Amino acid sequence: MVILPQLIATVPPYYEDTYIKAEYVEICEEVGEEYNICPELLMALIEKESSGKADAQNGSCKGLCQVSEKWHSGRMERLGVTDIYDPEGNIRLAADYLTELGAEYEDIATVLGWYHGEADPENKISTYTTWILERSEELEKAHGK
């Protein structure tokens, strides 16, 4: 297989470590930097929530990070997100919510539990939370962090 040099330059060096699209990886990096969130955590969240499918829907939760318009309409308005399926807007909504939760709860496992809508995440760690934390760590190691 021949890969054109100009295409190599557009793909982050660790794109192959995750199966989400390169453009989503780039958005995770940008939004992660803006919100002071590890981009690999956002990538792991996307893998778990939607398998990298921007049009994913599960009940009222939609998009890459499975954000609910019902619960986050005010956040959407504040951030200027008009299309819940827009990858950048969806990732930004998730990062903003994670940041809000992080201001209230210091423990990242608790933050992820609340993000996922779990009952009593302060007192138990779920398989969901464990998976995201482990996957995030794998991606960080693969990226030399």
As a dihedral over the C-alpha atoms of residue 6, residue 9, residue 13, residue 19, rounded to 10 degrees, the angle is -60
Strands 57-58 and 67-68: unpaired
| Token reading at 12 | 């982050």
Starting at the earlier edge strand, list the strands of the sheet with 57-58. Answer: 57-58, 61-62, 67-68
What is the model's pTM? 0.87
pLDDT (tens digit per residue) in 4-21: 334 334 444 445 667 789
pLDDT (tens digit per residue) in 110-133: 999 999 999 999 988 899 999 999
Q: Taking a C-beta distance cutoff of 8 angstroms, is the pair 52, 24 a contact?
A: yes
